[in-house]
Structure 1
Amino acid sequence: MMAYKKVGFDQTTFPGKLGLDSHNEFLAPVTVEGQITRMVYFAPLGKTPLEVHRNYEQALKAAGFKALISCTPRDKGCEHMRYGFDDHYRAMKEADFHANRDRQPENSALYKYMGSLGGSNMLGTDDLYFTYGTLAKDGKIVHVMLNSGKVYNTDFTTTYIEIAEPQAMEGGQVTVNADGLRSALQASGKIALYGIYFDTGKAEIKAAESKTQLDEMAKLLKNQPALKVYIVGHTDNQGNLDANQALSQQRAQAVVTALAKQYQIAPARLASKGVASLAPVASNADEAGRAKNRRVELVLQ
């Protein structure tokens, strides 16, 4: 590992399509808020960017990863995708190469290059492979971006990895924008939403706190007029199952009603379902797990 950065709650962007605009920003950006992890790894000397990148893709696919964008050095513009996350890299903490150099064998390639390593050239400058996609984890959609290539002026292959995991922040929960909703539905057919709020034991939506998430849900539905979805309410396991069943149904219906009345989404495109605590995404043994289980899900019909 040559560089690392983990932030408990932040915002990042991923590409909705291959390419960059005139400001080196991703095209059709997908914005995600939550826990962000960024890493840079060097592969063993002699490993090519193709071999390294395919191994990462293979491991991710085994975990349920679905690639949304993927390109190789033969694809026009692939070598430029790294400029879209150059600023992400600059905020990372690099290894102290000078201090670590003495730990390497004097005849090793790392010893040779340690003194001059550093900076965004470690993202790779030649023979670049890029992949972005999503996978389902604990009822949420995790976003993963990979970039593998040759490190500038060395014989090493490097891989930049960025992972965004939607999760709760202090004082609130994650709001997923319309692009993120679309990507998640395409990848997994559903997405857990934590930006719609209710008081404990009640089914009335807290309008001010929930407006941002409802706005994004409505934007998605208006942008895709043929889309039909289930709004599914979930609770934790505290209290009576029958009461929780009724509450989860009422909350799901409250979201349907809000989308229909406030945003003029055709009611025929929406169906409410309540499943109480029957589909948990975490343990109900502690409050952290119960908070994950109290959610509204958007599910493709």
Structure 2
Amino acid sequence: MTMRTLALPTALLTLALTAPAARAMEGMPTADVKGGVDHPVISRFTGSLLVGYGQQDWAATVLPGAGGTSKTERNKFADPVQLEGRITRLFYLSPEGKTPLEVFRNQQQALMAAGFKPRFLCEVKDCLAPAYFAITDEDRGKSMNWAKGYLVGVRGSNFKGARWGIPMSITWEEGHILAGTLSRGGTTLQVLVFTSQAANEYTDRAASYIEIVEPKAMPTGQVTVDAKAIASGLQAEGKVTLNGILFDTGKTELKPDSNAQLDQMVAALKAQPAAKVFIVGHTDNVGSVDANVKLSQGRAQAVVAALTQRGIAANRLAAYGNAGYAPVASNASEDGRAKNRRVEMVLQ
């Protein structure tokens, strides 16, 4: 072990030994972290404990690209892959005596057998340390819940019984990093696996950090377009997209969360009593054209009905279903399809 790698365990040891007496006596966790579950695309190494777990329904992250770590920027990826979607983070501790190499090779073989396409692989020290810092500097562990307890030293006369913190206790010693893609059910998942010694050689365990990103459109309709913005949009462009009009998939019934947006539409129309508008429904390209025409027309009619119930004269409103004929984004991605599913108010 180099002098540089000794610095991390020593610091962690100091923290452990200065902890309150009750906590200092804690040992290895004996059960998974509360709420933690394996991800369906990769199982745990036999006998491992899931000691760290976190899932964000929609968030952003960075994974290594094919170029690995940067030659000009310290502890950065050369061509980082910027990702958004549902992020699952898992941290495992292997059984005592299992080497990082054994654990990693099993993970690697399981992924490859499932059709994994590797983009970046690092198993030598020249790239391990920069990759380690590029990953851990993102503070990924802060989004995770952790099991109580410590890593306990079982080797070395000076370190038996010593304790080190568990959160993000991967290191570049005996490290192996793999990043790439895995297709499942028509969706391409991004996967990162980082397996190494758990804190240091004295724990005689391997630690594995796994990050899985599932592409997913950001939840929309969480911000309504107010009456002033509606009026400005109609004046400037003759139309405005109404982000707060919400429907369940394949349905024409307005969700209750649409009420705030409907109230703002009413306010805008009452402020312009002479204005007449089309309410236009749009869909993505999923399904047949006939079905999408029917769906978009039904949604537009539901909005017209809701506005007339709120006091807007029916002769000022007309419903029109445009199906997927006027996309505002590519239908090749879920994010694009989500943008295309919309309701607009258009001046007649």
TM-score, normalization: structure 2? 0.47
- Contact kept, 8 Å, 1:79 with 1:129, in 2: the verdict is no
Residue by residue, what CA displacement relative to the aligned partner does 1:167-223 show, whole Å, maximum 9, x if unpaired? 1322179xxxxxxxxxxxxxxxxxxxxxxx9x999xxxxxxxxxxxxxxxxxxxxxx
Q: Which deviates more from structure 2 when the two are superposed, residues 61-70 or residues 16-25?
A: 16-25
What is the root-mean-square deviation in Å for CA atoms of aligned residues?
Answer: 4.2
1:135 is matched with 182
The answer on 1:96 being equivalent to 2:148 is yes
Structure 2 residue corresponding to 1:10, chosen from 59, 68, 89: 59
Q: For 2:69 and 2:188, how far apart are their aligned partners in 1?
A: 23
Structure 1 residue corresponding to 2:164, chosen from 116, 122, 136: 116
The amino acid that maps onto 2:173 is D
The answer on 1:29 being equivalent to 2:80 is yes
- Contact kept, 8 Å, 2:92 with 2:208, in 1: the verdict is yes
The amino acid that maps onto 1:156 is R
Q: Deviation of residue 237 (structure 1)?
A: 5.8
Q: Deviation of residue 56 (structure 1)?
A: 0.9
The answer on 1:80 being equivalent to 2:130 is yes
Q: Deviation of residue 125 (structure 1)?
A: 3.6
**Higher relative contact order (CA closer than 8 Å, sequence separation 6+):** 1
The amino acid that maps onto 1:116 is W
Structure 2 residue corresponding to 1:159, chosen from 198, 202, 208: 208
The amino acid that maps onto 1:127 is E
Q: How many correspondences in the alignment?
A: 199
- Contact kept, 8 Å, 2:141 with 2:167, in 1: the verdict is yes
1:48 is matched with 99
- Contact kept, 8 Å, 2:52 with 2:167, in 1: the verdict is no
Residue by residue, what CA displacement relative to the aligned partner does 1:8-66 show, whole Å, maximum 9, x if unpaired? 11100111221145342222111111111111111222222122111111111222210
Q: For 1:10 and 1:80, how far apart are their aligned partners in 2?
A: 24
- Contact kept, 8 Å, 1:128 with 1:147, in 2: the verdict is yes
**CA spacing shift, 1:154–1:36, aligned 2, 3 Å:** same
Residue by residue, what CA displacement relative to the aligned partner does 1:129-183 show, whole Å, maximum 9, x if unpaired? 111001122322211011111122421111110111111322179xxxxxxxxxx
| Paired-residue identity, % | 28
1:39 is matched with 90
Q: Deviation of residue 72 (structure 1)?
A: 1.1
The amino acid that maps onto 2:120 is I
- Contact kept, 8 Å, 2:98 with 2:204, in 1: the verdict is no
TM-score, normalization: structure 1? 0.53
- Contact kept, 8 Å, 2:118 with 2:180, in 1: the verdict is yes
Residue by residue, what CA displacement relative to the aligned partner does 1:89-115 show, whole Å, maximum 9, x if unpaired? 4313221116x99xxxxx99xxx7684
